[in-house]
């Protein structure tokens, strides 16, 4: 008899716990009416809905991780980095879509939610407009491969070697070893110069003017010598001297040469100017400065 009473008490306790659990699941966290008149909608959010959304989001997370591992398993390292960057953005879009589907499946009026938060969503959209431009531009960069890590780029008058390409920004290091953070939307608004897309070899030049009456063949020989003796200048293709113009005060020449690291071009060009000045001095070739003749006309006395 006592055992039967204990069983009954246990059953009542279990029933009470189950009822309390059901009551907890049915507890309304949010319950209000949005809109007026014909557009009136009830928005109800219960605990069981929150738990269901959480479970679905956890399952979606594990599924996305599995898909990511499956897709990137045999990808090269560089392509894997690009895929991960784009995937990190696409993942949030998938989360939002899954959440909206779950809300609609459990009977929550998604239209009512959008109607209640329309002003907030518009404000957030305007505030995040530049952010989305950066993200979309970053995706374009990763897909069309116009810029790679290690490239030397010039944009908006700034020059740097690309160190990292993220979804929103590109990180580069300037010649002065300063970090340059470039918002990706600038690639769509400005002309981009990629110095190294065709390879690391670049053609550089140094311009100089000599006085009228100078031996131009000797000038050409000395300029070629200045370039050929510089260890940073490549022997193939050979340096070339161009006679560019008859200036107002000088005969103008351009020394064209090839170097292997355009990012450090300022240093060999500086060394070459030192050498050109030395050679010109030794061979009595002068570099003129602009001169003007001023004629003063005295007015005739009456």
**Residue 271 sits in a domain of what CATH number?**
3.30.70.100
What does the alpha-carbon distance between residue 249 and residue 72 come to, in Å, rounded to a whole number?
A: 64
**Tens-digit pLDDT profile for residues 69-93:** 877 777 666 666 666 766 777 777 7
Q: Within this chain, do residues 181 and 213 fall inside the same structural domain, yes or no? A: no
Query: Is 132 a domain residue?
Result: no
Q: Please give the torsion angle defined by the CA atoms of residues 25, 29, 32 and 34, in that order, rounded to the nearest 10 degrees.
A: -100
**pLDDT higher than threshold 80 for residue 143:** no
When comparing pLDDT for 259 and 1, which is higher? Answer: 259
Q: Within this chain, do residues 253 and 226 fall inside the same structural domain, yes or no? A: yes
Query: Is 276 a domain residue?
Result: yes
Least confident of 5-14, 50-59, 218-227, 267-276: 5-14
Query: Is 209 a domain residue?
Result: yes
Average pLDDT, the chain: 76
How many folded domains does the chain comprise? Answer: 3
Tokens of 8: 């009954």
Please report the beta strands in 156-201, taking only residues with DSSP state E, as ranges in sequence order. Answer: 158-165, 169-173, 179-183, 192-194
Q: What is the CATH number of the domain that holds 111?
A: 1.10.287
Structural domain containing residue 222: 202-282
Q: Please give the torsion angle defined by the CA atoms of residues 207, 211, 216 and 219, in that order, rounded to the nearest 10 degrees.
A: -50
Q: Within this chain, do residues 217 and 176 fall inside the same structural domain, yes or no? A: no
Please report the beta strands in the chain, taking only residues with DSSP state E, as ranges in sequence order. Answer: 28-34, 41-46, 152-155, 158-165, 169-173, 179-183, 192-194, 202-210, 240-246, 251-259
Confidence of residue 220 (pLDDT cuts 50, 70, 90): very high
Query: Is 96 a domain residue?
Result: yes
Q: Within this chain, do residues 88 and 161 fall inside the same structural domain, yes or no? A: no
What does the alpha-carbon distance between residue 162 and residue 173 come to, in Å, rounded to a whole number?
A: 7
**Tens-digit pLDDT profile for residues 88-132:** 777 777 887 787 777 767 666 666 555 655 565 666 666 567 777
pLDDT of residue 124: 60
Query: Is 218 a domain residue?
Result: yes
Helix axes 47-72, 77-105, angle to 10 degrees: 160
pTM of the predicted structure, to 2 decimals: 0.52
pLDDT of residue 275: 92
């Amino acid at each position: 008899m006592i055992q039967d009473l204990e069983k009954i008490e246990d059953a009542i306790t279990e029933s009470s716990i189950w009822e309390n659990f059901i009551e907890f699941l049915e507890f309304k966290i949010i319950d209000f009416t949005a809109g007026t008149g014909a557009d009136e909608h009830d928005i109800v959010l219960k605990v069981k809905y929150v738990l269901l959304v959480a479970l679905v989001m956890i399952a979606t997370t594990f599924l996305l991780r599995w898909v990511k591992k499956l897709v990137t398993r045999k990808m090269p390292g560089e392509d894997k980095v690009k895929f991960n960057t784009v995937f990190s953005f696409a993942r949030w879009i998938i989360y939002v879509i899954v959440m909206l589907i779950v809300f609609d499946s459990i009977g929550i009026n998604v239209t009512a939610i959008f109607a209640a938060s329309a002003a907030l969503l518009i404000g957030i959209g305007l505030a995040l407009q530049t952010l989305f431009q950066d993200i979309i531009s970053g995706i374009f960069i990763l897909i069309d491969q116009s810029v790679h890590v290690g490239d030397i780029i010039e944009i908006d008058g700034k020059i740097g070697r690309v160190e990292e390409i993220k979804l929103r920004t590109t990180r580069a290091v300037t010649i002065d070893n300063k970090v340059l953070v470039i918002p990706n939307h600038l690639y769509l608004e400005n002309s981009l110069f990629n110095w190294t897309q065709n390879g690391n070899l670049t053609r550089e030049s140094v311009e100089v003017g000599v006085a009228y009456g100078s031996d131009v063949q000797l000038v050409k020989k000395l300029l070629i010598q200045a370039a050929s003796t510089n260890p940073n200048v490549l022997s193939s293709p050979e340096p070339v001297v161009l006679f560019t113009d008859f200036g107002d005060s000088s005969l103008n020449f351009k020394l064209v040469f090839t170097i292997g690291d355009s990012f450090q071009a300022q240093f060999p060009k500086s060394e070459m100017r030192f050498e050109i000045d030395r050679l010109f001095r030794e061979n009595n070739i002068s570099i003129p400065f602009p001169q003007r003749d001023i004629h003063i006309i005295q007015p005739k006395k009456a």
